């Protein structure tokens, strides 16, 4: 009987769709929700604790700060989680037609859509205002991110080492050694004649 040869598996097709941003889409959206909840909790806690400390009478400032944080921080955290979740959904949806990863245009449009959808119940003016504020904030964040990346690349940039050609007749200059880049003076040893004295 002839041995049955196994057919080779076809190579994996490369599609034009972009790679998921950092993680697969569901995990990316859940990460955005968690990040928004933590950011809202931190910012809301700082704001409402300070407001409670300043607005409470003397002798009850700590209690007033604790009550203000307990009453308002969960609402702020949920609001930020919803906003960031909507941002993640729109960013994942818009990254497919753009076919680019880490595109600032996608981030700005997603932020505008998330801000508008979050303000739907307040009317068309609130939708436009929320979308404009969210888009402007994301544009500032993206510009700051680009500036920080450029600064980081300048600080940690290492120029490539030039490769010396084997047929180059010019020898490489010796490294400069000395204080403040100045080469030290050559040491000259002189022979001093010694007169022979008779031992007395």
Residue 136 is predicted with a pLDDT of 92
- When the pLDDT of each residue in the chain is averaged and rounded to a whole number, the result is 77
In this structure, of 84-93, 99-108, 162-171, the range with the lowest mean pLDDT score is 162-171
- The span from the CA of 54 to the CA of 62, in Å, is 10
Residues 178, 184: contact at Cβ < 8 Å?
A: yes
What tens digit of pLDDT does each residue of 43-72 get?
999 999 998 888 888 888 888 889 988 999
Residue 132: pLDDT above 90?
A: yes
Separation between Cα atoms, residue 34 and residue 83, nearest integer Å: 11
Radius of gyration of the chain (CA): 34
Q: What is the pLDDT of residue 42?
A: 92
Q: For the chain, what's the residue count?
A: 200
Contacts for 126 with CB less than 8 Å, ≥ 6 apart:
119
The pLDDT of residue 166 is above 60: no
Question: If you ran DSSP here, which 8-state letter would residue 167 be given?
Answer: T
The whole-number pLDDT of residue 119 equals 87
The pLDDT assigned to 193 comes to 77
- Which residue's structure tokens are 């009453």? 71
Residue 85 has pLDDT above 60, yes or no: yes
The per-residue pLDDT for 189 is 75
């Amino acid at each position: 009987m002839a041995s049955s040869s196994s057919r080779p598996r076809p190579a994996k097709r490369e599609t034009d769709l972009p790679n998921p941003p950092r993680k697969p889409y569901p995990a990316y959206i859940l990460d955005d929700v968690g990040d928004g909840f933590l950011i809202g909790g931190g910012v809301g806690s700082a704001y409402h604790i300070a407001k409670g400390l300043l607005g409470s009478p003397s002798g009850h400032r700590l209690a007033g700060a604790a009550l203000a944080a307990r009453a308002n921080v969960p609402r702020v955290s949920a609001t930020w989680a919803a906003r960031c979740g909507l941002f993640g959904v729109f960013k994942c949806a818009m990254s497919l037609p753009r076919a680019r990863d880490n595109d600032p245009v996608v981030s700005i449009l997603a932020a505008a859509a998330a801000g508008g959808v979050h303000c739907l119940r307040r009317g068309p003016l609130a939708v436009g205002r929320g979308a404009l504020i969210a888009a402007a904030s994301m544009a500032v964040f993206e510009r700051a991110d680009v500036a920080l990346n450029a600064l980081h690349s300048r600080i940690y940039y290492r120029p490539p080492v030039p490769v010396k050609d084997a047929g180059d007749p010019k020898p490489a200059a010796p490294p400069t050694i000395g204080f403040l880049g100045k080469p030290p003076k050559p040491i000259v040893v002189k022979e001093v004649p010694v007169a022979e004295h008779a031992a007395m």
